[in-house]
Chains A and B, each alone.
Chain A
Amino acid sequence: QVQLVESGGGLVKPGGSLRLSCAASGFTFSDYYMSWIRQAPGKGLEWISYISSSRSYTNYADSVKGRFTISRDNAKNSLYLQMNSLRAEDTAVYYCARVSPRIPVAGLFDYWGQGTLVTVSS
């Protein structure tokens, strides 16, 4: 069965950095686009970034462009999100999600992880 397990969340000071990881299993990881989506406490969902199956294409929301970097290691079945210059408004649960191959840029996320909480506070 498909499993996505995020890790790496925690408390970080404003201006700091954090790297999130997502371990994937139960499917051929290298065949799928992957994405990060976040949810601030008590708020809605916000798409952050996605990466193509071969790593050749990435896309970011304006709110994180230039600060966050998505990457993947297909040999390790892992997705990453490097977050720099963190701000209080980046506080959220960060979800890793698999993108359905039907139309990869359409944002059909067919499997989600359980999320990892990132708190940016002094």
Chain B
Amino acid sequence: NFMLTQPHSVSESPGKTVTISCTRSSGSIASNYVQWYQQRPGTSPTTVIFEDNQRPSGVPDRFSGSIDSSSNSASLTISGLKTEDEADYFCQSYDSSNLVFGGGTKLTVL
């Protein structure tokens, strides 16, 4: 089984841009799509990025996703940060037999 490793926490100021990484331990990051979920305190997760870089309807274009085969990682970038973006963010991917979530990154907008 593979693992997805995320930084435990990141912080940035309103209006700035932040990038959260998600590194796959084995197998190619490009072989299986990556999803990103946002979870605000006390609520259920919601999708902000699916299939590496697709945004569900209703998610602002301040959210973008990408993958980098050289570092075997995926990234979630949030530009023009707002205080409402403060949440936990989880990456997720899969292989032939398992679905795996990253450990989550707590984003603080201060």
Contact = CB atoms under 8 A, between A and B. Distances in A.
Contacts of B44: 95, 112-115
Interface stretch (A8-16, A20-28, A76-84, A97-105): A97-105
Contact of A108 (B39, B47, B97, B98): B47
A108 B37 CA distance: 10
A47 B32 contact: no
B104 interface: yes
Nearest to A95: B44
Q: How large is the interface on B (under 10, 10 to 19, 20 to 34, 35 or more residues)?
A: 20 to 34
Contact of A44 (B32, B97, B98, B103): B103
A44 B8 CA distance: 11
Contact of A102 (B32, B51, B101, B104): B51
A13 to B, nearest CB: 28
B35 A106 contact: yes
A107 B90 contact: no
Interface in B78-103: 88, 90, 92-94, 97-103
Given A44-B101, A44-B104, A107 B94 contact: yes
B45 interface: yes
> Which residue, of B37, B90, B102, B103, has the highest number of chain A Cβ atoms within 10 A?
B37
A44 B102 contact: yes
Contacts of A2: none
Nearest to A45: B101
Given A45-B37, A100-B50, A107 B102 contact: no
Interface of B: 1, 32-33, 35, 37, 39, 44-47, 50-51, 56, 88, 90, 92-94, 97-104
- Shortest Cβ-Cβ A-B pairs, 8 listed: A107-B99, A47-B99, A112-B44, A44-B104, A45-B101, A44-B103, A108-B50, A107-B94
25 contacts: A44-B90, A44-B101, A44-B103, A44-B104, A45-B45, A45-B90, A45-B104, A47-B92, A59-B97, A59-B98, A61-B98, A61-B99, A62-B98, A95-B44, A102-B50, A105-B94, A105-B99, A106-B51, A106-B94, A107-B93, A108-B33, A109-B35, A109-B47, A110-B56, A112-B44
